[in-house]
């Protein structure tokens, strides 16, 4: 049985095991988990909104006991074949799940195993979200390399996303200082401003 089938089997059992089957099913913005999942089959804009809601729902509800159930929902989002925005929200959710759960939680461990694979996604937004989420990982080299590479992407939005990720990384982003300095000469005034801000924060951390 592969990892996905195992997670699906655990997810099916999880409501009974953890007592999630109650008279009042949890809701987010007035909808149940299954109602938000149904939204993934609607229009492009509605799919993106549903994916955002599912990851918000997952992060809000997940704990050590039911984490694998919500992990499975996020992994399904990251596998959307036609919607980069749905994959983005799934990837962002994986990162937030890792932040919420303790290091030994099975769902966090599985999420951290899935994130490196998303560094190869076709969408720059998904790749950067995955790299950003790998800050707690032991091996950050691939994620850092992707963020640095993204600083020279032709799309301004991609460069902005990469710089903001590096800024969140804090001291772990110090190997990217030279690339951040180069970004301060970018053609975009906003890129210049936020790269300068990221460098100033690193300078304040210097001994």
Q: Are residues 3 and 63 in the same domain?
A: yes
* pTM to 2 decimal places: 0.82
Q: pLDDT digit string (tens) for 60-113?
A: 999 989 999 999 999 999 999 999 999 999 999 999 999 999 999 999 999 999
Q: Who's near 119: CB < 8 A, 6+ residues apart?
A: 127, 130, 131, 134, 142, 143, 146
Count of domains for the chain:
2
Query: 76, 101, 124: which is the final residue of a domain?
Result: 124
Q: Are residues 24 and 100 in the same domain?
A: yes
Query: 62, 94, 124: which is the final residue of a domain?
Result: 124
With beta carbons less than 8 A apart as the criterion, state whether 54 and 37 touch. yes
CATH number at residue 161: 1.25.10.10
Q: pLDDT digit string (tens) for 155-206?
A: 999 999 999 999 999 899 999 999 999 999 999 999 999 999 999 999 887 6
Residues for the chain: how many in total?
A: 207
Name which of 94, 167, 90 is nearest 159 in CA terms. 167
Q: Phi first, then psi: what are they for 28, rounded to 5°?
A: -130, 120
Q: Are residues 119 and 149 in the same domain?
A: no
Rounded Cα gap, residues 82 and 167, in angstroms:
30
- 146 domain residue, yes or no: yes
Q: Which domain holds residue 176?
A: 139-207
- 111 domain residue, yes or no: yes
Rounded Cα gap, residues 53 and 35, in angstroms:
11
Q: Phi first, then psi: what are they for 143, rounded to 5°?
A: -65, -45
- 105 domain residue, yes or no: yes
Q: Are residues 20 and 47 in the same domain?
A: yes
- 108 domain residue, yes or no: yes
Q: Are residues 82 and 150 in the same domain?
A: no
According to the model, what pLDDT value does residue 49 have?
A: 96
**167-173 LR contacts (CB < 8 Å, sep 24+):** 167/194, 167/197, 167/198, 167/201, 168/132, 168/135, 169/132, 169/135, 169/144, 170/201, 170/202, 170/205, 171/202, 171/205, 172/135, 172/140, 172/144, 173/144, 173/147, 173/198, 173/202
- 5 domain residue, yes or no: yes
Rounded Cα gap, residues 96 and 22, in angstroms:
26
């Amino acid at each position: 049985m592969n990892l996905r089938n195992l997670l699906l089997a655990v997810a099916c059992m999880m409501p009974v095991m953890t007592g999630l089957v109650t008279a009042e099913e949890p809701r987010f913005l007035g909808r149940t988990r299954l109602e938000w999942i149904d939204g993934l089959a609607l229009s492009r804009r509605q799919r993106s909104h549903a994916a955002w809601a599912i990851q918000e729902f997952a992060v809000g509800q997940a704990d050590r006991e039911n984490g694998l159930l919500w992990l499975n929902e996020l992994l399904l989002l990251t596998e959307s074949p036609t919607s980069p925005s749905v994959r983005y929200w799934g990837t962002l959710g994986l990162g937030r799940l890792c932040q919420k759960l303790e290091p030994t939680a099975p769902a966090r461990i599985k999420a951290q195993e899935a994130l490196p694979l998303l560094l190869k996604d076709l969408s720059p937004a998904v790749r950067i979200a995955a790299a950003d989420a790998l800050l707690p990982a032991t091996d950050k080299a691939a994620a850092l390399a992707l963020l640095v590479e993204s600083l020279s992407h032709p799309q301004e939005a991609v460069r902005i996303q990469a710089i903001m990720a590096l800024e969140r990384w804090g001291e772990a982003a110090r190997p990217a200082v030279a690339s951040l300095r180069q970004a301060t000469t970018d053609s975009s005034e906003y890129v210049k401003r936020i790269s300068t801000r990221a460098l100033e924060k690193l300078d304040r951390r210097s001994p």
